[in-house]
Amino acid sequence: METSRVLVIGIDGVRLDLLPELDTPHLDGIARAGFLAPVEVDAGTPTMSGPCWTTIVTGVGVTKHGVWGNRLDGNRLDVFPDFTTRLAADCGRRTFAVGGWEPLFLARQGGPLFVAPTRLGYVAPAEDTPEAWEETDERVTAEAEHLLCLDEEFHAGFVYLGAVDETAHFVGCGTEYRAAVEAADRRLGRVLDAVHGRRERAGEEWTVIVVTDHGHREEGGHGGRSELERTAWIAACGPGLPPGQAPAGPLHHADVAAHVYTALGIAPDPHWTLDGRAFAV
Ligand SMILES: [Zn+2]
């Protein structure tokens, strides 16, 4: 497992039902090489970014990590850290986390979620608009490319793209939203190219996981339990994931962190009390 590496790319608020009609070749490629499968946000979890992303990267549900909204105050991340922090602090691995949403990366609004990865890259949006968030995601992508192209060891990383969600909140799930999803896919493609470069150069074996946190109502917005809001998805490919075969049984957001550890050859310590388990086909 010395050559095992994992990258998680989080794209906020991407509706599963729209993917078949959108031009997302890079996501489609991951689905073909592995799988793309629905995730229903757990019944007790608000369909909001804060709790969903926290579950995704800690591998435990809201009753453990204590993040119930988009303010992260009162969280128990000291007991249930995100995987970039745990891997760096307890497992001797080097990690990074990059993105532009404040509470994930900064000590603001009760954050950060990513407490202490080896490297942290935060890109501040100039303002809260879809245009500013496109620019932010562009710079986040460039930062991820930069880190992956460095002659520096990284075992796991997380990249956050937020423009899709911002667009839905501003103008609903119409033309602009669809274009934002396609732009996110092009950025995914650039990050995958950088990963491919490392594979070639260093013989690393990468697992790639792409995940969204929740859906959106047609007019934009989420937080309720409608099917459009509670339906998320995970796509992944890499060693041990046969092409085109979806995992057996329902997937959960908490499975992402569990799979990260397992893919790196680390058996989760029972004391971590993870609620997720590695993707099993
Ligand atoms: Zn979100």
Specify the CATH number for the domain of residue 8: 3.40.720.10
Whether the pLDDT of residue 245 is over 70: the answer is: yes
How much distance in Å is there from the Cα of 204 to the middle of ligand 1? Answer: 31
How high is the mean pLDDT of the chain? Answer: 97
277 within a domain of the structure (yes/no): no
**Residue 179, amino acid:** A
* pLDDT tens profile 109-146: 999 999 999 999 999 999 999 999 999 999 999 999 99
71 within a domain of the structure (yes/no): yes
180 within a domain of the structure (yes/no): yes
How much distance in Å is there from the Cα of 92 to the middle of ligand 1? Answer: 31
Work out how many domains the chain is built from and give that number.
1
Which contiguous run of DSSP H or E holds residue 236? Answer: strand 231-237
Which contiguous run of DSSP H or E holds residue 230? Answer: helix 227-230
Q: Is the pTM of this model over 0.85?
A: yes
Residue 38's domain comprises 4-272
How much distance in Å is there from the Cα of 190 to the middle of ligand 1? Answer: 22
Beta-bridge partners for 122:
99
* pLDDT tens profile 87-104: 999 999 999 999 999 999
56 within a domain of the structure (yes/no): yes
How much distance in Å is there from the Cα of 50 to the middle of ligand 1? Answer: 7
Q: Is 271 exposed, middle or buried (0-12, 13-18, 19+ CB in 10 A)?
A: exposed
